[in-house]
Structure 1
Amino acid sequence: MFPLSFLYPTITEDINLLSNPARAIKVARHTHCSACNCQGLHPPAHIPVILDDSEDLPEALEQADQAEAPTDEGFWMICECGHGWDEHGAGMDVSMTEMVRRTQIAMRIDEILEEAGKLTDFDYVDEDVESLKKRIILPLQSRDSSDSDSVKTGKSRKLSAASSSSFDNDIIRGGVKRRRMTSSSLSEQDAESSDEDQPLASTSRSKTVPKSGPYTSAKTRPPGIEAGAGDQRGGKMPSGMTVAHIVPRADDSDNMEDVKKTLTVKVEQLSNQQMDRLTSGVTLDVSEPVANDEDAPPPEKPPVIEERKGIIRLVVVNNDGSPQNMILLTGLKCLFQRQLPVMPREYIARLVYDRNSEGMAVVRHGLHVVCGITYRPFPHRGFVEIVFFAVASRYQMNGYGGHLMNSFKMHIRKAYPTVRCFLTYADNLAIGYFKKQGFTKEVTMPRHLWVGYIKDYEGATILQCTLVKKVDYLHAKETLAKQREAVLHKIRQMSRPQVLYDGLKQFENAPEGFEMDYRDIPGLKESGWDPELDRITRQATRDPQRKAMARLLTDLQGHALAWPFLHPVDKQVVPGYHDVIEHPMDFSTMEMKLDTHLYPTFNDFVDDAMLVFSNCKRYNPENSVYAKHAIKMEKFVKEWVASERAKNDALGY
């Protein structure tokens, strides 16, 4: 006999009030089945859904007790598709912190459904619900073959003796943060194509919130905040600065035309001497027709057209008490709360409404905020900290992200002349985007200028973007196109492919097999060409094996079970680990070796990956979660390598 009703937990703002089965069914409802095409755990069509605060609860529980179908606390454990919680993202192999993260997203989805009056309608979806469902179990990320953009950075959780420290993936796990030093004040993100509007910057991985910031009562204080926490700057913040997506802003048009004209004049006034040095040694066959696509201006992007037509507006807002700004700030707050599901709502509200923070909003149809950024300027320190960055779900494919970042740069340069750079903490999902926007891991700003002024993430990566005064970021493509055409024009003038020269005299009477030192070739040595440097450069950019290593590393770091293997084991936390494991290895060390070209072959890279898992299995008991994760990850690597070999036998591994 099956239960006559389907019990489902009601809405609650406190995750601690949910039992483990209640968390599991919430996650399972909104998670695609891994064994079939089911979109989430749901009851048979003829079974009504009963909330656990309903008057019909006692009868539903009695039916569940008498049912043959497996239930837990009255909650069905089997979907209509025939699969259970394990296949719907709520299995026993999911760590506690990951389960908390997934539950928080599921709770936010339920809140949206409740607002729409659809909490008990398991077939209802909308754009916001679908967007959040994609984040419960995050997809693997692709890595650029030439670098290590997608570096997973994890935030610390309780360390254990796996093959590496038990660090939680920045997007995938959450953990309780340990604060570092705090200072005197509070402080707390898309390429130009469709990939630009993906979740960015560090995402919150638990409901733990920094102890900084005023709370008037326990009722308004988010869980995890200690009473009496004052308004402070700097220190650790929750692993939460997710940047869901992005959008544009451009209110510096007066200044931009002047900058554009200046750059154009400078390009035209390049001296022949400069161009000679630039094009030295370059030949181009001008006998063939040259396609001058650069002559035509690059097509305008949709956000630029929409802004010119008045469809969207970019507005800078702050908490000055004016009605319009308060409406826009509330729009930003609601946007961030919806797009950053694992961030506590009170925490987002406190930062957005903070009088020390500012925002830039993309507004449609009056005062409807569809995209925005919250930031904290420190002009006396010469930098701006990016805090929140998001685009509404339905506008994530409109190309707003790159336009917003470029507009933001122009606004900051005009509003704060002393600001030289942006700083932000990012996880590996954000790093790729930020690098495309001019950010780098190499922070050149002196530490004493920013340490203690911005919120610090344990395990996250701090990135810096240095502003260039003479660059018009809103017209950078046009400027680069003109510079490229200037160089090509000079090359065409200097190239003389129709002139034939005599060959090298040394080969006229040379015996068979004669080899000539490149330094004896007239002009080659003087040009500065180095065969070894040329070999390294070609290998670094074209080596198919290195590209495969980069892709595999990204997939490893993005795997849902990768959190124990992301960083080295801390010998201070696990003192005896290095006595047992003679050759420790982890994904961050592998990334460093890959970036510095220390893997001669793909097999060497795979050997290190297998070393990570063998170390874990050697140190931990067979029935531990770490050993089980290592076994599954090991299987994943073997299947990945087999698939890659089948696709490309030319790799030679």
Structure 2
Amino acid sequence: MHSIAYPPASKPIELLTVNEKLLKIGRNIPCAADVHSGSICQCLGWKPKKNNTGRADLCQCNHRVSWHGESQLTPEEEEFKARLEIAMKIDTILESKNKLFDFDYEDAELLSLRRQLVAVGENSSNSKKRKLNDERENGPNARKTKIDEVTIPDKPAMIEERQGVINMKILTNDGSSLKLVLLTGLKNLIKIQLPNMPPEYITRLVYDKRHYSLTIVKGGNRVVGGITYRLFPDNQLAEIVFCVVSSTEQAKGYGSHLMNHLKDHLKDKEGIKHLMTYADNHAMGFFKKNGFTTDITLDRSLWMSFIKDYDEATIMQCTMIEKVQYLRLHEILAKQRMAIRVKIAERRKNTLPYPGLQIFKNGGKPVNPRDIPGISESGWNEEMEARARGNKKSIRNIMANITSELKKNPKSWPFRVAVSRDEVPDYYNVIKNPMDLSSIESKVEDNCYKSIDDYISDIKTIFNNCRLYNADGTIYVKCAAGLEKYFIERLKFYDVPFIGSKK
């Protein structure tokens, strides 16, 4: 067994070993190793292996750190030194943000520096590992063929299913002893994984004959994961009630494998187009990664009063794409990433490099941007600069920013557009001063607000209307309370006083 310690950002360059220098550079450069038939590894930067076994310099992609950069370069070469200098700057920024050991962390500043690092010596004769030069020589048709022929390794869960290590079973309570055994296993797993959920509620839904459960079964009868759902065929809708994976089996991709299986089954066999669920803060990340969004586009008449409402949870929706096979989704995305990388490399090839400006070496005078080689050719002008800067502290911009933030908040879905007269015929008999976020957004854009107080008044009207029309305890009133709290937080953030109390 080998151990490896990633060097701190404060360690001077002259004290770094050659391997430590390679690690600092390699974490910022995509892997150039071949995986199948000339296709390039999809890894975007060196990361230490989680189990810390085997070679100490092996990446999670199972390729050595030298594939993340240039193994043919020596530390004495200028290209290597230039890359290391940028890598050191990146590590300093990461350490200042307590992210030095977070190998997945990215932000705009780091991405800009990484692009600079990768670009160093890109046209050098030493850059032989990348197979993109073959694609450049053979033209776009040859490149397209190679992308289409890329072979993407299967996910571990898919391999286990193919080998019979796990089995996928759809269950419902039809009274058979085997299914009752498996449903009981699922019920017990849900109780463990969701300890705050009432046990009698879990039992009732799992055994309910209107509910189905897609399960992952190991060893014949041990349930290690499952999704319980209910179908509403007339609405082309399915509600996900529970989604759990055993804590001992997590980090294997079982959750996404379950979700992809469910999507393909419901889409192809049941005629379902939409999935909906209520997710708490811990589950929202998982559902977002699997195509769910808090932007509810499905007509409320198709889901309101059909699916169960949960406190302290956010409603989420996933609309499936008919032609997509979700169990092969990783292949589609990998090929898209490859196509983008090829396109970027192709454009970089045509980028004209310019020498650095010497005037700054000794603290030179300010330079007109138009006099810098390449700036004018890029299409830049002073008007663009002025528009980009703008008056960021203006009241109008503050109102626009807050409105945009409110619309993105998960609790805002009932208030984003005006209430439909067709859906709620008596609404406008009760509410004489209707208001919604889209109308406010338009008023901000048209410069209709003479003061911030007028803007705040319109926002408060949304919440007051909601409480006037809807009964206490309804989902709408709960959303209004949550969004109003968030609105007050944003006013404080922008140093805008909030006059008046809740009504």
Q: Which category describes the TM-score, using the shorter chain as reference length?
A: 0.3 to 0.5
Query: So what's the TM-score if we normalise by structure 2?
Result: 0.45
Whose relative contact order is higher, 1 or 2, with alpha carbons under 8 Å and at least 6 apart?
A: 1
Query: So what's the TM-score if we normalise by structure 1?
Result: 0.36
